[in-house]
């Protein structure tokens, strides 16, 4: 390879308005129209995803439904079809893989490919990107446009993909980092949220260029931690291998349907959510040490919030016992939202002798997982959750991509 050629190490595919585009793909009447995907059809909720047409009127993720209606008269609201989005996700990953192996799925609508050998020559990388775009449109659906970023590492490829939407293709080899990003505001760096932006601005940093002028060590100080050090390296165009993301905790929450807005209904849903979490723990070969539950009424005036720690466990029945203990006193009269989270995750292979572990009960958990995997979710469930089997099914969050064998709403 000619050393003067521009090289690209990563290609990042980002689907445009993903959930909304899936809806437009499935229903031709929605194409070229402003639509918004919402969790439920109610004025009090917020938009999960809006189509390109709605975005042009300012409707974006997080916009309240009532505001969206004012900003964009004629907007069409659609209740999300999460199972469809997951199906599209898997089809898209497959389509990309037919052109170039996917190294990392970053979220339900983002994936990164590492380029090797001659693929790294910028002109070749751009060809690969064009092929991927075309292949998705042809094999998955013509509403599924993408923005692709090319860069020396995942962070810069992601930032490049954000520059042109919809249907963008931006290439930023190392030597173009400065001219592409330095004049832009700090919040275009992925991972810089509202608080970090305010924090950086308060310290006098407004543009990417100001941050890039610092050494990684200085940036570490400005940022207040090791993340700054990594960011400094990445903004300079170096590729730091990322440690596998360690999951620190997991949570599920659920808005209760009207008929379950009573203490018993809320507790049963909590038990169901805890059943799901313990099965996710076993699937990831993990255990947890802390359990946290909450139940809230509509206004957060009457609520229950309790935690408990124990020697680590992933035993469904043990965890359900803990949920019952925590909810014994003071469940709100009319709970509307309930949630369970677990933390202090440990590797289940590191055997820790526990006074509480019941080997029979643990074995039962594993058998339950195996049967549900083979015959479908909820074939076998704890008796306590029998009444609410139809509720609290999987919802997609951007970081947890369900498998198709999961149970969907």
Q: Which residues bind Mg ion (CB under 5 A)?
A: 14-15, 109
Name the closest residue to Mg ion (Cβ).
Answer: 109
Taking the complex as a whole, the smallest distance from the CB of residue 158 to Mg ion amounts, in Å, to 10
**Helix (H, G, I), strand (E, B), or coil: what is residue 354?**
coil
| Cβ nearer to Mg ion, comparing 145 with 327 | 145
Shortest distance in whole angstroms from residue 233 CB to Mg ion: 26
- Tell me whether residue 15 or residue 172 sits nearer to Mg ion (CB atom): 15
Q: How far is the CB of 300 from Mg ion (least distance, A)?
A: 32
By C-alpha distance, which of 8, 35, 38 is closest to 237? 8
Q: Which residues is 77 bridged to in the sheet?
A: 36
Q: Is the CB of 168 or the CB of 173 nearer to Mg ion?
A: 168
Nearest approach, Cβ of 17 to Mg ion (angstroms)? 7
20 vs 250 by CB, closer to Mg ion:
20
Q: Considering only CA atoms, which of 195, 332, 192 is closest in space to residue 261? A: 332
For residue 275, the SS3 value is helix
- The tokens for 160 are 């490049």
CB of 162 to Mg ion, least distance (A): 9
Rg (CA), the chain: 24
Burial readout 130-153 (b: 16 or more C-beta within 10 A, e: otherwise): eebbebbbeebbebbbbbbbbbbb
Please state, in angstroms and as integers, the Cα–Cα distance from residue 41 to each residue in 52, 95, 227, 391, 395, following that order: 20, 33, 40, 17, 16
| Cβ density class 254-276: b for 16+ within 10 Å, e for less | bbbeeebbebebbbbbbbbbbbb
Q: Whole-number minimum distance, CB 114 to Mg ion, in Å?
A: 20
Nearer to Mg ion, 162 or 384 (CB): 162
Residue 408 forms beta bridges with which residues?
A: 394
Distant-in-sequence, close-in-space partners of 1: CB < 8 Å, separation ≥ 6 = 7, 118, 120, 121
Smallest distance, Mg ion to C-beta of residue 109, A:
4
* Residue 109 or 384 having the CB closest to Mg ion: 109
For residues 14 and 268, which CB has a smaller minimum distance to Mg ion in the complex? 14
């Amino acid at each position: 390879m000619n050393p003067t050629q521009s090289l690209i190490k990563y290609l990042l595919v980002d689907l445009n308005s993903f959930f909304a585009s899936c809806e437009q793909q499935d229903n031709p009447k929605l194409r070229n129209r402003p639509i918004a995907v919402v969790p439920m059809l109610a004025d009090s909720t917020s938009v999960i995803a809006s189509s390109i047409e709605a975005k042009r009127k300012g409707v974006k993720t997080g916009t309240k439904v009532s505001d969206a209606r004012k900003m964009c008269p004629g907007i069409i609201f659609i209740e999300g079809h999460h199972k469809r989005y997951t199906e599209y996700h898997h089809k898209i990953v497959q389509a990309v893989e037919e052109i170039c192996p996917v190294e990392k799925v970053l979220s339900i609508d983002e994936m990164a490919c590492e380029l090797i050998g001659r693929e790294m020559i910028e002109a070749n990388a751009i060809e690969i990107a064009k092929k991927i775009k075309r292949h998705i449109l042809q094999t998955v659906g013509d509403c599924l446009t993408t923005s692709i970023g090319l860069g020396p590492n995942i962070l810069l490829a992601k930032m490049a993909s954000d520059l042109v939407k919809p249907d963008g293709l931006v290439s930023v080899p190392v030597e173009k980092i400065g001219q592409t990003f330095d004049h832009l505001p700090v919040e275009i760096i992925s991972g810089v949220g509202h608080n970090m932006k305010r924090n950086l601005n308060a310290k006098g940093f407004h543009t990417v260029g100001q941050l890039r002028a610092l050494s990684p060590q200085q940036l570490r100080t400005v940022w207040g931690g090791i993340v700054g050090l990594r960011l400094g390296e990445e903004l300079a165009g170096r590729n730091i291998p990322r440690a596998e993301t360690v999951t620190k905790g997991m949570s599920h929450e659920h808005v209760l349907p009207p008929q379950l807005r009573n203490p018993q209904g809320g507790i049963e849903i909590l038990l169901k959510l805890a059943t799901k979490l313990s099965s996710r723990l076993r699937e990831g070969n993990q255990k947890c040490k802390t359990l946290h539950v909450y139940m809230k009424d509509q206004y957060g005036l009457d609520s229950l919030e309790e935690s408990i720690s124990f020697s680590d466990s992933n035993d469904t029945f043990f965890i359900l016992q803990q949920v019952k203990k925590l909810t014994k006193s003071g469940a709100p009269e009319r709970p509307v939202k309930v949630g369970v989270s677990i933390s202090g995750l440990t590797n289940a292979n590191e055997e820790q002798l526990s006074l509480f572990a019941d080997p029979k009960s643990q074995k039962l958990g594993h058998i339950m997982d195996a049967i549900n995997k083979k015959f479908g979710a909820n074939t076998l469930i704890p008796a306590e959750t029998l009444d609410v089997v139809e509720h609290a099914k999987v919802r997609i969050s951007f970081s947890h991509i369900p498998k198709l064998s999961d149970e969907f709403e």
